[in-house]
Amino acid sequence: MFRLDGKTAAITGAGSGIGASIAGLFARAGARVAVLEIDAAGARETVERIRAERGEAEAFACDVSDAEQVERAFDALAQRFGGLHVLVNNAGIAHVGSVATTSEADFERLFQVNVKGVFLCTRSGVRHLLAGGGGAILNLASIASLIGLEERFAYSMTKGAVLAMTRSVAVDFMQQGIRCNCICPARVHTPFVDGFIAENYPGREAEMFKTLSDYQPLGRMGTPLEVAALALYLCSDEAAFITGQAFPIDGGVLVK
C-alpha cells in the first residue's frame, strides 16, 4: 500500500523542510521525483540524498512566481521522466504582521509566491496530468486557512486562497481523472522555525521554542516527516476516493 511505483512526482520548494521530506518519502515509495526549487544548493542536496538511497530524482530550477520558468520546468520534467502523475505545491513563504503593519510590498511578495505560484504550477501541472490521463495534486495550505491566527494577516490571506483553489480545481477536473486536496498543518519544526527564532529572539531561543511548541495542545510541533506521510497517502491510489478536501495536521489546535 501507499506506493508510487512508476509515477513521476513534481514537488515545489523541495530543497528543505517539509518539501524535502515529501521528496524523500515519495522517492522511497518508488516515485521518480522532480525537485522544483529556486535554491540550487538546496535542490542539489535533496537530489543527492535521494540518489544516495538509490532513488530517482532530478532538480529543475524554478521560481514559481515566474510563468516562463514554470512552463519550462514542467515541460522539461515531463520530457525527462515521460510525463507527470503527481504534483505537490509546497513552495511558500511566511510573514508576521497584522493588516496595520503589513506593507504593500510584503503583501505583494506573499501573493506572488504563495498564490500566483500555486496558480502557475497547477496550470502547468494540469496540462501534463491531463495528457497522461489524470493524477493527483496536493497543495500545502495551513490551519491559517481555517481559523484566525494573530499577526498572520497576509500569510492567512494566501493560504485561504490555496484552500479555495484546491476546491475549485477538484470540482473542475474530477471528471477528467484529477484529484486535488490540501494539507493544513499547524506549526512544524523546520530549519525556517529555528532561523525565525534565532533572528527575532536572540538569547531567548529555548524559551521561544517551548512557547511555539506549547501552542499545539499535544505539546510539540509537528515534524516534516509526519506531514510527508499524510502527503503520501493523499497522493497514492489508496486515496482515490478523496478530492476537494482540507486535512488538518495540527496537534489538536482545532479542537482545543
Catalytic pick among 155, 201, 215, 233: 155
Give the residue extent of every domain in the chain.
8-186+224-243, 189-221
Residue 236 has pLDDT above 90, yes or no: yes
pLDDT at 60: 98
30 pLDDT tier (thresholds 50, 70, 90): very high
Tens of pLDDT, residue by residue over 120-166, are 999 999 999 999 999 999 999 999 999 999 999 999 999 999 999 99
Q: In sequence order, what are the beta bridge partners of 60?
A: 36
pLDDT at 199: 85
Q: Which helix (H) or strand (E) holds 86?
A: strand 86-89
CATH architecture observed for domain 8-186+224-243 = 3-Layer(aba) Sandwich (3.40)
pLDDT at 192: 85
Are the C-beta atoms of residues 145 and 185 closer than 8 Å to each other? no
Catalytic, 201? Answer: no
pLDDT at 256: 82
Residue ranges in the chain assigned as alpha helix (H): 17-28, 40-52, 67-81, 104-110, 117-131, 153-173, 191-200, 205-214, 224-235
